[in-house]
Amino acid sequence: MQVIELVERLGRAARVETYTNDTVLFRRGDPTRHMFGIIQGQACLRRTTFEGTELIIHRAHEGDLFAEAALFSDAYHCDGQALAGSRVAFLSKLGVHSLMQDDGAFASAFCQRLAGQVQRLRSNIELRAIRSADDRIIAALSLRVGTGEANYDLAGTWKGFAQEIGLSHEALYRALKRLERANRVQRQGRSIRLGVKQLGD
């Protein structure tokens, strides 16, 4: 279930806002009235540590849901901010709840989305536990290619990929070069082929 579908499904219980500047969506302690969907741009959840420094808890990108936990809480636990140039859908908490109550198929689809999230996040955490940049990249790519496939076309940029798997972009580019030299991958722009070693010789 895409964010857009969710907005359509909710009808009057959803509205979309466009922000040219960074804008606060909610503050910690505010009563929860909405969860959010990022249609364009980015948003982030922030909390202040005990020592007063800002801690970013989550960066949401295009297509992500944002502050889902608000559905099940009376007050927000963090500060939420939309970054400049974002389009954000406000999804009414009550609207979502009543849909979930009345429409089993909707509830199921919503759970599906969350379950998928959980799965991806968990594997991402384990991925980041791989210390070696080379191995982490191979593992990340292996998770993304379909069964039996060897080719993978990167959706975004390599720089973005680096961030997704928790590497600096420099480290990523260097590792890619090493992997190519070792014939573990073969790359052309944003397309990559795995396992040249086994297939080639």
Partner DNA sequence: CGTCCGCTTGACTCAGATCAAACTTGGTGG
Partner DNA sequence: CCACCAAGTTTGATCTGAGTCAAGCGGACG
Q: Which residues bind a copy of itself (CB under 8 A)?
A: 45, 47-51, 53, 55-59, 68-69, 71-72, 97, 100-102, 104-105, 107-108, 110-112, 114-119, 121-126, 128-129, 135, 138-139, 141-143, 145, 150, 166, 184, 194-195, 197-198
Specify the residue, 27 or 159, whose C-beta has the smaller distance to DNA: 159
177 binds, among a copy of itself, DNA, none (CB under 5 to 8 A by kind): DNA
Specify the residue, 61 or 77, whose C-beta has the smaller distance to DNA: 61
Alpha-carbon gap, residue 173 to 47, rounded angstroms: 33
Residue 174 binds DNA (CB under 7 A)? yes
Tokens 């202040």: give the residue.
48
Instruction: Please give the residues from 101 up to 160 whose contact with DNA meets the rule CB under 7 A.
Output: 131-134, 136, 157-160
Number of H helices, E strands in the chain: 7, 11
Phi, psi at 180, each rounded to 5°: -70, -45
Q: How far is the CB of 185 from DNA (least distance, A)?
A: 12
Binding test (CB under 7 A) with DNA, winner from 111, 112, 170, 191: 170
175 binds, among DNA, a copy of itself, none (CB under 5 to 8 A by kind): DNA
CA dist list (Å): 19 to 80, 101, 169: 14, 32, 29
Specify the residue, 56 or 84, whose C-beta has the smaller distance to a copy of itself: 56
Alpha-carbon gap, residue 40 to 123, rounded angstroms: 26
Question: Which residues does 176 contact at the CB level (< 8 Å), separation at least 6?
Answer: 137, 158, 185, 187
Q: How far is the CB of 139 from a copy of itself (least distance, A)?
A: 5
Specify the residue, 171 or 196, whose C-beta has the smaller distance to DNA: 171
Instruction: Dig out the tokens for 13 from the structure.
Output: 């219980």
Half-sphere exposure of 89 (CA within 13 A, CB side): 28
CA dist list (Å): 161 to 123, 125, 158, 195: 15, 15, 5, 19
Q: How far is the CB of 28 from a copy of itself (least distance, A)?
A: 8
Beta-ladder partners of 193:
151, 186
What does the binding site for DNA look like in residue numbers (CB under 7 A)? 131-134, 136, 157-160, 166-171, 173-177, 190
